[in-house]
Amino acid sequence: MSALADRPHIMDAEHFEEAARILACLEEGVRWELIDGKARSKPLPDGDHGRIIQWLTRICLQHRPELWLYSQGLKAQTYREGRAHPDGSLAPSGSFGGQGEWADPDPVLMAVEVTSHDSGTEQCYRVEKPRAYAETGIPLYLLIDRKSCQLSVYSEPDGERYELVRTVSYGKSLHLPDPVGITLDTEPLKDWVH
């Protein structure tokens, strides 16, 4: 009996990548992630979600034209055994050339997640994702929460978690500390909370 049959809720990266390729062919409109050894589906973004990413991309290009906000799968967590699909990965332009679906996260300055409207949002975006990105060593994690109408920037990863979290309501300014160094005017987000 295989290791997967013995522990069906736990999966290693190799088996996950194989399963994710098969499932992507069978089930359109879903991306797959592997966080804490557990595979989970992530719905594709809706229009407001896409508009938020567009807003953030424009701000980043205006202030840091050498960077790009990628939609790139990353090898995440300790020893790169997890697989995460952040809604955005801010990294120097050209960082992921020649890499496959799951790229090395070393050039990523900030991971971005925009909440969806599914039931697992709280656990996924406020517990599992920050821990995975901190373990990976990504300097910043930006959470744009459409349900609470807040943004949170997590910073100073210590290899297990982020030491600092700053949260503001939509409409207030939020400074993204170094290595990003951009201040966001979040007023436009009020139009895309649906």
For the stretch 17-75, pLDDT in tens is 565 555 555 566 667 666 776 767 666 667 788 899 999 999 999 999 999 999 998 99
| Residues of the domain holding 89 | 45-192
Chain segment 114-146, per-residue pLDDT in tens? 987 766 667 788 888 899 999 999 999 999 999
How many domains does the chain contain in total?
A: 1
Under 8 Å between Cβ of 30 and 44: yes
Give the pairing type, strands 140-145 and 110-114: parallel
Domain harbouring 128, CATH code: 3.90.1570.10
Position 118 in a domain: yes
Predicted pLDDT at 6: 37
DSSP string, 73-125: EEEESGGG-EEE--SEEEEETTTTTT--SEE--TT-SEEEEE--SSTTHHHII
pTM of the model: 0.80
Residue 124 lies in a domain: yes
